[in-house]
Structure 1
Amino acid sequence: MKNLLTGLVFIGLAAGPFAAMAQSNTDQSKFKQLQQELPTPNTYRSASGAPGHQYWQQRADYNIKVALNDENQSITGSETITYTNNSPDVLTYVWLQLDQNIFEPNSMANATRTGNLNEKMSLQAVEYMTREKFDGGFKIKAVKDRNGKALKYTINNTMMRVDLPSDLKPKQSFTFSIDWYNNINDQKALGGRSGYEFFPGDGNYLYEMAQWFPRMAVYDDVNGWQHKQFLGSGEFALPFGDYKVSITVPADHIVGATGELQNASQVLTSTQQKRWADAAKADKPLAIVTQDDATKAEKSKAKGTKTWVYAAKDVRDFAWASSRKFIWDAMNVKVGGKNVLAMSYYPKEANPLWGQYSTESVAHTLKVYSKHTIDYPYPVAISVHGPVGGMEYPMLSFNGYRPEADGTYSDRTKYGLITVIIHEVGHNFFPMIINSDERQWTWMDEGLNTFVQYLAEQEWERNYPSGRGEPSKITDYMKGDKSMQVPIMTNSESVLQFGNNAYGKPATALNILRETVMGRELFDYAFKEYANRWAFKHPMPADFFRTMEDASGVDLDWFWRGWFYTTDHTDIAIENVKWYTIDSQNPEFVNAQKRAEQNKAPKTLSEQRNLKDIQKTRVELRPELNDFYNSYDELAVSAADQQKYQSFMSGLSPKQKEILNSGLNFYEVGFRNLGGLVMPLIVKMTFEDGTEEIVNVPAEVWRYNNEEITKVFVTEKPVVNFELDPYLQTADTELSNNYFPRKMAPSRFEIFQQERSRQNPMQRQRNATQNNSNSNSGR
């Protein structure tokens, strides 16, 4: 213990300019501002993160006719595009995306795909490598202006440039048409974001159609034309527009699509129209096409075709699904005073799981996302089940997960379904409405969406098994091999460990911002402000970073730098703790305390043995050898000691006397940043009486020294244990050094049966019930 009456003065100075000297190179500071990394604000994008007063964006309106060939799994289409130049620039050509060209045998995506061979390989892997080449990609038949005159065009892998016959000046529009066809991929065999699934049991197909037509690329104030090649990971950058789409399919098919159905009386029976009207007012899912209806349609294929007409306003894309196998249910959802129709399309193979959870999950997603961003603006929101595991488009998403053939399912399948629907329907907000550039920045749609998905999951059910969002879920990735990691701020096609980097890490970062760095009130306000500012516009990373700071008043440059621009991780250790108390100078108290410490001191081994082995010491045998020092008590309080103490006390102020008699404990705690990320310190102190206290120290405590700091804590009661990040808020990757004194961190080894049961719990329970019933009936 040390006297702190004078020492406290130096504690107050330690956080000032003396500590700043420890940061030898200020350019390397974790708190360096992001001014050099972020683009210079201008009239299009302001320094606050809001759109500038001269912000502009292009527009593309479509009128499309497409026919599905159910015999050879192909589509034939014709589209008319009206492209409006709202930029201040003169355009001499326009670019379109030909995403289906990724399926061409000699595509760049196929040519740059890497792989490896092992001595032991599955037959499925070998089959994939030796598969027949699929004749995929767009077959462009004609590109014409509005007068039918051919336009010159050039195809560069997944992009197509159309040369304009004359300059397209600001505020002018150009209308042209494209005729094409393409073969539809077997999604299970070839993968992709769309395709067909064949059901051998009844001989029918289910189609999920996306990226199915040539689509305008984005021209903006940041990139000019966004025409990076599509290699499979970086998704899409698309302008907004109005769509009218006529979809011709077999007469007994049910079609779900982006937008609102325009000709229900022509494609639905009177019974289906009545059910549709009832569902639009229902607060629970009602079937428009029942399972019995769908099963009957499977068995007898109708001849002829029907054309379904859909229209959508202010969307950036259009997708659709078609099958005679579809069950179709719907319910009404109130969002911001408006009625939204939540709907699901799925085959009987998806029941009972889909009938119970799909449309309810859609409705739940709209409610939670609207609360945290903007009110859902579209009239419908759809979940479709088919071969695609999960993919999103305006108003419509494709989602996987189906039960076993006997109708049972595992909890993993159940929560997998709810999770994927929340995620894909949530993409309506990011990026279908808040329209970020997916070709460049995957995290701006996947990361932000995964974060709000986590919030929605937690509002679905207590203790929902969320796979991403909680800081503890990302630690294994963040402490992993840095050669296999890249910063979040990496182009989509160059990201390593895609799921962790583009989904998990940014979602976790936002959760930490909300819960630990900013607090829910400041974060939620700023996040909602970002959504409102950039709804139906094209935000960039700087717009998000700047808005979050602008609307909250919190400097977050250190956070964006660490989490988004580096591969650093969180590993903060408690290095040491020094305990100080105040020397009161009162001899009665001080000497009594010293005596108590002496009495507590353990006897050495020799002393313990001597008590037993030495019967009598020399002095004990000869008392005459005792003198003054044998009876002298150095801890006895003398009159001189008392006089000295009274003189000391008379020179103190009332406040100093109060401090002197307070009995306070002072702890100097040393922290070391081992992982590189500066983060807030959440310190739990456990006191001698068993009570606890949490102290939250902002991350700015590291601003003078990013690597090691000391912090003083003053307590009324003695502390027996310090713990860092007790609620796992900061994604700390090494918990064993978060304690002082250190704790033994248990490791576990698993004992398991070599052959695990392949039955899910529902099947085991059903079989047990049946066996029990059979046993009872045999008595």
Structure 2
Amino acid sequence: MKYKLTGKWLVLLLLFSTNWLSAQETENNQKDFNDFTYRQGNAYRTASGLPGPEYWQNEADYQIEVTLDENEHTLMGQIEITYTNNSPQSLPFIWLHLEQNRFKSDSRGTLTTPIQGNRYSGDRDGGYSIAQVSAKLDKRGSKTSTKYLINDTRMQVFFDEPLVANGGVAKVSMNFEFKIPEKGMDRMGRLDVEDGTVYALAQWYPRVAVFDDVVGWNIEPYLGAGEFYLEYGDFDYKVTVPYDHIVVGSGALQNPKEVLNTRLQERMEMAAISDSTVYLVKPGEVLQPELTRPKQDGNITWHFRIENARDVAFASSKAFIWDAAMIRLPGGKTAMAQSVYPRESDGNEAWGRSTEYSKASIEHYSNKWYVYPYPVAVNVAADINGMEYPGVNFCSFNSKGSSLWGVTDHEFGHNWFPMIVGTNERRYAWMDEGFNTFINHYSSEAFNDGEYGSNLDQTRRYVSWLTNPDREGIDTYPDVANTSNLGMIAYMKPAMGLLMLREYILGQERFDNAFKAYINGWAYKHPQPNDFFNIMENVGGENLSWFWKSWFYGTDNIDLAIENVVPYGNDQVIILSNKGGVPMPVKLELTYDDGSSETIMLPVEIWQRGDRWNYQHRSDKDLTAVEIDPEKILPDINIANDKWPSNIYE
């Protein structure tokens, strides 16, 4: 039955109706929907979001040999870099990153760390010693140059003559040494445990900076919060350590017969075909290296290789328990999940399940998004809250249960962003942390039928931050962002943005098609934010400028409201308003007097005409309730105006 209005209600409705009808088109909000940045394509990056026909990137291949001194806590060795210039211009020099120089008392990172410290505080008595620098073009008659300069965490190496464009090759070599920091800015370092020292080695060799078509050389200093941006290449590296150490690292072990005895090799073979965890070094064998290692004195060299990677890391200790299991990949391929941890971290409620977590994480992402490319996935227990490198995680040795699952899954998720999709973490933290946090949501929901679950879809729990006057935008440079905001602007807010795109704006199928196209198109390449925006729009089939502008490059909020529901002839009109700065499609759940309900979606374009919209709903049944976003996907900052109660006109 329709509402019966008499007397004063009819008079009020007649007066009110002229207002809500005329408010249908009282202003123009087109500015909210215009492109907010220049996104036209070129020969290198297309308007459709894919690499262009002339896209290029340079390559850096590494051969490294180092020796770990556990008495002095130093790492020393030699490196040779084969650098290929695929760019269309010649290069008179190349830039390298020397991130260990961050641990000097006069480094930019040290001098810009607050007195009270933060997560990125670190030792101040480290830094590189560099010697025997040599740079030479790989062509007949070239002369060797020894000219270089070092400024903070950057090193500029000059050639005797410019390295030619479109495929010119040069070799750069040097010796290096540094003291391994105890506190390595929560990214690397060393940990003393009862059975020895755990060395987690990252940013341990001079690394070539990226030269790209966007800014040329990417040479931002290493300060702390901003992470890394690196070229792809092949790595061949050897690590010499005391005979009783176990070494794990990025890539495949090349000389197992030289560093593992027959018993350990057999266990490795068992693990390679086992879905359940197999001990390689058991807890009771940690202090008995003669049971698992072929050599009983002096040093031993472990040799690793990984192809088409942007970095390598490794860990070494005589205190490691070591276990492993097979990872099943699409197409019948396999890899191996491994975990190393001290006895302090042992136990089924703790690191005893690390390999189970690692295997599940890698298998999930491989099946859902893109196949894992590396031969191993190693989880290392260290004094690090969580840090990722190709095929290797460093996670807290104190983590247990849901905490260990969460950090393991997050750090392995980084193999997709930014290890496979090679974004610039130092400038755009949200393109790796946020994207990874997003895919972690689905991995956690899937693991063991939701054993630990995820709360990313509980977006309204973040309203207090979203309305905080001190909030910053996602696009804030990570090294200058307030550390209290970094978790939201780099991780949670961009992840919520992708969640809204998948579950509310585009829908799962359109989103997945576009997101997979992004991963496939930019695997082992260097996308920029505009490349992501363009490919999501082109494959998803939606102009999303309004969303990128407001959610990713602004600090406004979502506040959709139901002002009223009024009769209009034989129909009913739902009067809506957009009280926030973020336009959004409006999903409405409509409940009728017979107890039935339905859901409709009004397109975002209703807000192009203004901040109020009147939706005429045609139905033979009476509405008794209306609710915006019934599944609560949107982080709407005011839930009080999301519902229309049934008793307004009684």
- 1:241 is aligned to 2:233: yes
Q: Offset of 1:474 from its aligned partner?
A: 3.1
| AA aligned opposite 2:62 | Y
Stretch moving more, 298-307 or 76-85: 298-307
- 1:488 is aligned to 2:470: no
Residue 390 (structure 1) aligned to one of 386, 391, 402:
386
- 1:523 is aligned to 2:518: no
- 1:223 is aligned to 2:215: yes
| AA aligned opposite 2:235 | Y
SS at match of 2:488: helix
| AA aligned opposite 1:677 | V
| AA aligned opposite 2:102 | I
> Larger Cα Rg: Structure 1 or Structure 2?
1
Residue 546 (structure 2) aligned to one of 533, 553, 558:
558
Distance 2:205 2:462 in 1: 38
Mapping for residues 125-144 of structure 1, pairs under 5 Å: 134-144=124-134
| AA aligned opposite 1:681 | V
- 1:145 is aligned to 2:141: no
The C-alpha deviation readout for 1:155-197, integer Å capped at 9, x for no partner, is 111111111111100111110212111111113xx63310000
**Corresponding residue of 1:47:** 47
Stretch moving more, 328-337 or 458-467: 458-467
**Corresponding residue of 1:438:** 425
> Do the aligned partners of 1:108 and 1:231 also contact (CA within 8 Å) in 2?
yes
SS at match of 1:543: helix
Distance 1:740 1:526 in 2: 36
SS at match of 2:589: strand
Which segments of 5 or more consecutive residues in structure 2 lack a partner in the other structure?
Answer: 137-141
When residues 92 and 469 of structure 1 are mapped into structure 2, their CA distance, relative to the original with a 3 A threshold, is farther
Residue 336 (structure 2) aligned to one of 341, 351, 367:
341
- 1:535 is aligned to 2:530: no
Distance 2:308 2:240 in 1: 23
Stretch moving more, 219-228 or 377-386: 377-386
When residues 298 and 291 of structure 1 are mapped into structure 2, their CA distance, relative to the original with a 3 A threshold, is farther
| AA aligned opposite 1:509 | G
SS at match of 1:94: strand
Mapping for residues 274-313 of structure 1, pairs under 5 Å: 274-297=266-289, 303-313=297-307
SS at match of 1:420: helix
The C-alpha deviation readout for 1:481-501, integer Å capped at 9, x for no partner, is 2xx222212323233311100
> Do the aligned partners of 1:468 and 1:474 also contact (CA within 8 Å) in 2?
no
- 1:164 is aligned to 2:154: no
Q: Offset of 1:470 from its aligned partner?
A: 3.9
- 1:725 is aligned to 2:629: yes
Distance 1:390 1:192 in 2: 7
Distance 2:69 2:203 in 1: 17
Residue 362 (structure 1) aligned to one of 358, 365, 385:
358
Distance 2:464 2:453 in 1: 18
Matched positions, count: 620
Distance 1:232 1:354 in 2: 29
**Corresponding residue of 1:378:** 374
- 1:472 is aligned to 2:460: yes
**Corresponding residue of 1:588:** none
| AA aligned opposite 1:271 | R
Distance 1:98 1:473 in 2: 41
TM-score (norm. length: structure 2): 0.90
| AA aligned opposite 2:346 | N
| AA aligned opposite 2:590 | M
Residue 601 (structure 2) aligned to one of 667, 672, 696:
696
**Corresponding residue of 2:441:** 454
Distance 1:52 1:264 in 2: 42
| AA aligned opposite 1:351 | D
**Corresponding residue of 1:173:** 169
Distance 2:474 2:646 in 1: 34
- 1:99 is aligned to 2:89: no
| AA aligned opposite 1:717 | K
Identity rate, percent: 37
Distance 1:149 1:172 in 2: 16
Q: Offset of 1:527 from its aligned partner?
A: 0.6
Distance 1:698 1:464 in 2: 35
Distance 1:98 1:446 in 2: 23
> Do the aligned partners of 2:329 and 2:367 also contact (CA within 8 Å) in 1?
no
Q: Offset of 1:675 from its aligned partner?
A: 2.0
Cα RMSD (Å): 2.7
The C-alpha deviation readout for 1:211-237, integer Å capped at 9, x for no partner, is 011100000111100001111011111
When residues 737 and 298 of structure 1 are mapped into structure 2, their CA distance, relative to the original with a 3 A threshold, is farther
Q: Offset of 1:151 from its aligned partner?
A: 1.4
Q: Offset of 1:245 from its aligned partner?
A: 0.5
- 1:31 is aligned to 2:33: yes
Greater strand proportion? 2
Distance 1:230 1:191 in 2: 11
Distance 1:110 1:467 in 2: 36
Q: Offset of 1:19 from its aligned partner?
A: 4.5
> Do the aligned partners of 1:297 and 1:325 also contact (CA within 8 Å) in 2?
no
When residues 294 and 38 of structure 1 are mapped into structure 2, their CA distance, relative to the original with a 3 A threshold, is farther
Distance 2:646 2:219 in 1: 55
- 1:186 is aligned to 2:90: no
